[in-house]
Amino acid sequence: MNSDIKDKILDTIVDMLRTPIIQHRYGEYPHVYFVTRPKCKVYVGSGSYSNKFYPIKISSQKNQTLTIGKYTSIGDSLNLIMSGGHNYELLTTYPFRYLFRKNMKTFSSGNINIGNDVWIGSDVTIVGGNKNIKIGDGVVIGSKSLITSKQKLDDYGIYAGIPVKLIKYRFDRITIKKLKKLKWWDLPKQFLINNLELFYEKDPDKVIKELNKEINKGINK
C-alpha cells in the first residue's frame, strides 16, 4: 500500500472520529449543523453554513426562534445560550423548581436573529437575556467573542472581545446604505454563481454598480 492511499485512509478515520454522533442539519447545502436538535424554531437562509465537525451547541425552548440569514459563515463551535439561565434578580440563583421537579419551566431568554452575509469566528458565545438579540447584515465577529442581549451589532460592523466591542465598520456609511438597498443576497443563486468573480473585486462601489446594471436588465430578486 503506497503512502498516498495510507494518508487517505487515515484522513477518513480522523474525519469519522471528529464527527459528532448526534448531528442535525438545517437549510440548503452547505447546511448549518447542530450537535442536538434545537427545541426552538429554526430558520436558515440560502447558502449559510457551519462546520459539521464542530457544530453549533444550543440551549433553547419551544417558544423561541433562531433566525440565520442568507450566505452567513459560522465558525467552529458556536455556542447559543437561549435558555437555561439563572434569574439573578431573585433571592437565590439556585434552580429549586427545576431540580426538584415541582415546576420544569426554565428561565429562558428572547430570540436570536443573525443577519445576512455575517461572518462569525470560531468559539463565539451568544448569551440571551430577557431581550431579543439582533446581529445586523454584513457583521464580522472575532473568534472567542461574547455577545449578550444588552448589545446591538450594527450592519457591517466588525466586533470582537468579551463582551464584544465595535472595532470599525467594513465600509463607509454611503456604501453601507447602498448595500442595504441592494440586498445582493436576495438575487437568484445561479446569477450569483455566474458572476462569482465580481464578488472578489476590492472596490465595493464597482461591484454595486455592476450588480445594479444586471438588475436593471431584468434580474428578478
pLDDT tens-digit series, residues 126-174: 998 677 899 999 999 999 999 988 788 999 999 999 999 999 999 999 9
CATH number of the domain that 83 lies in?
Answer: 2.160.10.10
Residue 81: all three cell numbers together: 445560550
Question: Among 39-48, 68-77, 88-97, 135-144, which stretch is predicted with the lowest mean pLDDT?
Answer: 88-97
Cα–Cα distance, 199 to 189 (Å, whole number) = 13
Residues 115 and 40 reside in one and the same domain: yes
User: Is 86 labeled as catalytic in the residue annotation?
Assistant: yes
Among 8, 18, 86, 152, the one annotated catalytic: 86
Give yes or no for residue 113 having a pLDDT over 70. Answer: yes
Total domains in the chain come to 2
This prediction's pTM: 0.83
Query: Which residues span the domain enclosing 196?
Result: 171-221
Per-residue H/E/C for 49-79: EECCCCCEEEECCCCCEEEECCCCEECCCCE
221 — pLDDT class (breaks 50, 70, 90): very low
Residue 149: all three cell numbers together: 442581549
Residues 103 and 181 reside in one and the same domain: no
Residues 136 and 48 reside in one and the same domain: yes
